[in-house]
Amino acid sequence: MLVIKREVCGYCGACVSVCPKGALELVDAYLTVDPDTCTECGICSGICPLGALEVKNAE
Amino acid sequence: MQSKYDVLVIGGGPGGAMAGKAVAEAGLSCCIVEKRPAIGAPVRCAEGVGNEISELVDLDPKWISSKIEGAQLIAPDGQVLELNPEMAGNEVGYVLDRKIFDRDLVWKAANAGCDVFVKSRASGAIIKDGKVCGATIEHGGETFDVYADVVIAADGVESKFARWCGINTTVPMAEIETCVQYLMTNIDIDPGLNAFYLGREVAPEGYIWIFSKGDRTANVGIGISGKMCKDGKRPKDYLDAFIAEHLPNGKIIELIVGGVSACKPLECTVADGLIIVGDAARLSDPITGGGIINAMYTGKLAGEVAAESIAAGDCSKKTLIKYDTEWRNSKMGKALKRNYQVKEIFIKLKDEKLNSIVSSVNKLDMEIFDTKYLIRELVKYNPWLLKDIGTLKRLLD
């Protein structure tokens, strides 16, 4: 699953523009992920300037 | 908020503001919706613009943090290439105060008659028979359907509106510059110069910038390619290392993060009832990352074309395509195309080759600064450039 570290996130939206599925969105300046759409590809965590996104094994 | 406008603009940045102003000045009803509670904040930008901004708007001194007269390119080995105003081109101009600038642009749109709603988020597109007819807007805890003959998507790099309309706006990972910037004070800088630090060690497939915001204050930031970004090698890691070495006494008074697209523009920036402008259309410069002027130019053009199309009673893609054709044929469109190809060559250069280029440019007689002379001399000192020079020469001519 995709985990957003809210204490690290700068809410810049850089991840939104690279998500191939459009699963990420800034809502009222808070980053949200739609778990049904997210494929956990990791592109967003790869480009995050602050390392706020992490794909974690559900176990 | 009315339920129907002639034009609905999603996003209150420079692109959206210019679009709203152009529509309102044409005598049509227009509404700008901005998801943030305040226009211009938080700033996600290095705030640099070239002199050509004055072709789009009368400059107000209160927008300007610093007037820039030249630039310095610093090679990986520390050699400095000084660019005077004639050579620096786009790097000469201004460092703005976006918090004031953005608000004033939207104020101009509002003064022209455009409605503005802040903390108003588009959460979906209204599409009927394949035509974009408006947007669902969340405002003040309520949801409204707002219809329009034309919707202008000016929602920046994190744009979702065009995607909701069926257009793939995804930026490839290798072609997004992932950026961190500090507003720093207590640093020794020349307030009339912007500095660019190049090299894979400093900023892989990107650069570090120091953009003057006045005496002893500057935006100090970095952009690196998304594909070079990983744990321990994120933009913040590179920037902190640079600051520890070059600006150890500086005080950080603001942190900004964000992404800048360095890809080709969207294949088509219009659809039935829809125009996409600025960063949302991926129109930031692939080399510098600059996007303010491109957003303003395309926003204004979008507003004008929307108004013309509404007057003609046809807001289909076939009519709105005038916008797409016009910006592609403009000086901006041609520069974007050329700079994308130049970027593709330069990101492949190793640090030694960058050093060698800067070293040989420093040997040139700067009084004779024409392309043929530049290329001939560069090849003399860097014969390996011959491999790419055909492409480069064609692009520079």
Q: Which residue numbers of B belong to the known binding site for FAD? A: 15, 34, 45-46, 48, 98, 122, 279, 291-292
- Do B8 and B33 contact (CB within 8 A), yes or no? yes
In this prediction, residue B392 carries a pLDDT of: 65
Could you tell me the pLDDT band of residue B85, with boundaries at 50, 70 and 90?
low
Interface test with B, best of A15, A21, A47, A53 (most B CBs within 10 A): A47
CATH of the domain at A37: 3.30.70.20
pLDDT score of A59 more than 60: no
B227 reaches A (C-beta below 8 A): yes
In this prediction, residue B70 carries a pLDDT of: 86
Q: How far is A26 from chain B (nearest CA, A)?
A: 8
Q: How many domains does chain A have?
A: 1
Q: Which of chain A's residues have a Cβ under 8 Å away from the Cβ of B160?
A: 16, 22, 25
Which residue among A12, A17, A29 sits closest to B36, beta carbon to beta carbon? A29
> What is the average pLDDT across B358-381?
70
User: Would you identify the CATH topology of the domain B57-96+172-261?
Assistant: D-Amino Acid Oxidase; Chain A, domain 2 (3.30.9)
pLDDT in tens, A11-36: 899 999 999 999 999 887 789 999 99
φ, ψ of residue B296 in degrees (nearest 5)? -65, -45
pLDDT score of B43 more than 90: no
pLDDT score of B396 more than 70: no
CB contact (8 A) between residue A49 and residue B170: no
In this prediction, residue B338 carries a pLDDT of: 87
In this prediction, residue B361 carries a pLDDT of: 77
Could you tell me the pLDDT band of residue B87, with boundaries at 50, 70 and 90?
low
What is the percent of chain B where pLDDT is above 70?
A: 92
Could you tell me the pLDDT band of residue B367, with boundaries at 50, 70 and 90?
low
Give the residue carrying structure tokens 């060559």. B345
The domain over range B4-44+99-170+266-329 is classified in CATH as 3.50.50.60: yes
- Give B172: exposed, middle or buried? Use CB within 10 Å, 0-12, 13-18, 19+: middle
- C-alpha of B73 from chain center: 20
- The CA distance from B122 to B368, in Å, is 53
Taking the domains of chain B in order of start, what are their residue ranges?
A: 4-44+99-170+266-329, 57-96+172-261, 339-396
Q: Please compute, for residue A49, the number of CA atoms within 13 A of its CA located in the half-sphere on the CB side.
A: 30
Q: How far is A58 from chain B (nearest CA, A)?
A: 21
- Do B243 and B270 contact (CB within 8 A), yes or no? no
Contacts with B273 (C-beta within 8 Å, 6 or more apart), sequence order: B131, B132, B133, B148, B149, B150, B151, B315, B316, B320
Could you tell me the pLDDT band of residue B173, with boundaries at 50, 70 and 90?
very high
- The CA distance from B207 to A46, in Å, is 19
What is the percent of chain B where pLDDT is above 90?
A: 76
Q: Which of chain A's residues have a Cβ under 8 Å away from the Cβ of B171?
A: 17-18
Q: Higher pLDDT residue, B41 or B391?
A: B41
Average pLDDT for chain B: 92
Q: Which residue numbers of B belong to the known binding site? A: 15, 34, 45-46, 48, 98, 122, 279, 291-292, 371
3-state secondary structure of B207: strand
> What is the average pLDDT across B136-147?
95
Q: Which of chain B's residues have a Cβ under 8 Å away from the Cβ of A50?
A: 180, 234, 236, 257
Q: Which of chain B's residues have a Cβ under 8 Å away from the Cβ of A15?
A: 259
pLDDT score of B299 more than 90: yes
Give exposure, B108-119, as e/b (b: 16+ Cβ within 10 Å).
Answer: bbbebbbbbbee
Segments forming the whole domain that contains residue A24: 2-55
Please give the structure tokens belonging to residue B165.
Answer: 């309309």
Please give the structure tokens belonging to residue B160.
Answer: 């979702």
**Residues forming beta bridges with residue B345, ordered by sequence position:** none
pLDDT score of B359 more than 90: no
Could you tell me the pLDDT band of residue B84, with boundaries at 50, 70 and 90?
confident
Residue B115's nearest CA partner among B252, B260, B12 is: B12
Could you tell me the pLDDT band of residue B295, with boundaries at 50, 70 and 90?
very high
